[in-house]
Amino acid sequence: MADPIVYLIGAGPGDPGLMTVKGLECLAKAEVVVYDYLANPRFLSAAGPDAELIYVGKKGFSKHVTQDEINSILVEKAREGGGRVVARLKGGDPFIFGRGGEEALALHEAGIRFEVVPGISSGYAAPAYAGIPVTHRGITTDMAFVTGHEDPTKETSDVDWAGLATAVGTVCFFMGVKNLPEITSKLMEFGRSPDTPVALVRWGTTPRQETLTGTLADIADKAAAAGFKAPAITVVGEVVRLREQLAWFEDRPLFGKTVVVTRSRAQASELSERLSDLGAEVLEFPTIKIADPEEWEPVEEAIRNLGVYDWVVFTSVNGVDYFFDRMSKMDADARQFAGCRVAAIGPATAARCTERGIRPDYVPDEYRAEGVLEGFCERGVGEGTRVLLPRALEAREVLPETLREHGALVDVVPVYRTVLGAGDDNVLERLAEGTVDIITFTSSSTVRNFMKLAEGTDIAPTLRKALVASIGPITSDTARELGLKVGVQAEEYTISGLIAAIAEERKEQT
């Protein structure tokens, strides 16, 4: 019987990098995760694979789970099964307009242990990402956080408008877009100048961030005209004028662009993170899943007989990893390669070989079969040369067939399979809406499976306008065969090359 505990975790304002280390640690050991509308869903990947996920989101004034119901869920789940570890994931900080205090009191009254893990508040993070310091020497040394909508059951306001209007340099209103006309009129009524600069920061710290500036006199009209919606922070004060000089987040090369990453979930992180760093909103749509081969005996036999081969040719990072992992299970290591030479197709594959203790003898400059073959011929590959290709089951036959045409004895051994991924219905909806700007493909299988997963969905609006970005010529050929128009292709056929090509294309378009 475990000791029940609930962690009240502040997930921060939305940027996954702003989640605290302790918050991630608590999330990883949780058996149940209760999360809300403002908590970035990418945080859920930090939870254990068997964790129960419960959504209790509340959005504006629409009908969702009530606070009393949330309190009951936390108590019930903590007690369930004799005691469980529960993570309550909340946007921003639990104790800054997050109603975390109410949840903590409910747990206290139920006799359930809890811990509070503070989070970075959107009250200062969103302005910072918009280039607005909430305090600044020579401008203001004080600030206030104020709720933009109070308890609707109250008959009077608890906000000290008279004091707030003139006694505080910077005022940050949470959830105040709906009541913006009242907020601005109250501040002006009690003495704040109509010329005071104001900024609205929507979806602050995320790639969806939008910033609208004005003054107390006109910001409400500007927001109405722009259709500016929640969730947003309203910043009132002279510090807003610094935005013109200090805005940084919205100047990144891919800011405002939505990019679909079609790699497997296990491999997507590097590409996703680097695109996010450039300002993109990344939608992961795993079109493939890497799986073990149907049988290991052919791989093990190749490893046992590695000495008979003149060349071992690795065509992908996955091929290297699966081959070496199987060697390790057989208590073998890089010494098995003592009698043969190694080729790696592509710099990423070469780098992985080096990490595994083998420096490739040949890394082709050209990744098409014809260019690869020319390099092999220069290195004596020909009649009677024994070649081993550990690769994906579904890989193209061009390379082995071309080598055989020149007399080589080629053994192709599948060390892994690429199977159809799960995709993501939410991403398909975005594709159908036409709100995706870039689709990335890192292999032919990602293209083929993308088209399979999109069957029955009208993604034509997106395909007409989105940039299709390919990692190399083979992937591009597959995309064109399936009717896609490739807009950009990496010069270096790596993740870094793909990102560089996308960034350069976007730069040319601006």
Residues with catalytic function: 36, 58, 175
Cα gap 297→283, rounded to integer Å: 38
Number of C-alpha atoms within 13 angstroms, CB side, residue 344?
23
Residue 383 contacts residue 407 (beta carbons within 8 Å): yes
How far from 393 is each of 292, 303, 469, CA to CA, in Å?
10, 17, 25
- Within 8 A by CB and 6+ apart from 489, the residues are 469, 470, 471, 472, 473, 476, 501
Residue 228 contacts residue 115 (beta carbons within 8 Å): no
Query: Is the N-terminal amide bond of 231 cis, ω within 30° of 0?
Result: yes
Cα gap 33→216, rounded to integer Å: 41
Write a three-state SS string for 114-162.
Answer: EEEECCCCHHHHHHHHCCCCCCECCCECCEEEEECCCCCCCCCCCCCHH
Beta bridge pairs of residue 89: 9, 35
What type of residue sits at position 423? G
How many residues are recorded in the chain? 510
| Helices and strands (H and E) in the chain: how many | 19, 20
Is 461 exposed, middle or buried, given 0-12, 13-18 or 19+ CB atoms closer than 10 A? middle
Cα gap 352→510, rounded to integer Å: 36
CB neighbours of residue 213 within 10 Å:
18
Phi and psi dihedrals of 136, rounded to 5?
A: -160, 130
Cα gap 183→187, rounded to integer Å: 6
Q: Where are the alpha helices (DSSP H) in 169-240?
A: 180-189, 219-226
End-to-end alpha carbon distance in the chain: 61
Query: Please, what's the b/e burial string for 112-141 (b: 16 or more CB within 10 A of its CB; e: otherwise)?
Result: bebebbbbbbbbbbbbbbbbbbbebeeebe
- Within 8 A by CB and 6+ apart from 248, the residues are 129, 131
Cα gap 172→200, rounded to integer Å: 10
Phi and psi dihedrals of 224, rounded to 5?
A: -65, -45
Task: Identify the DSSP state of 96.
Answer: S
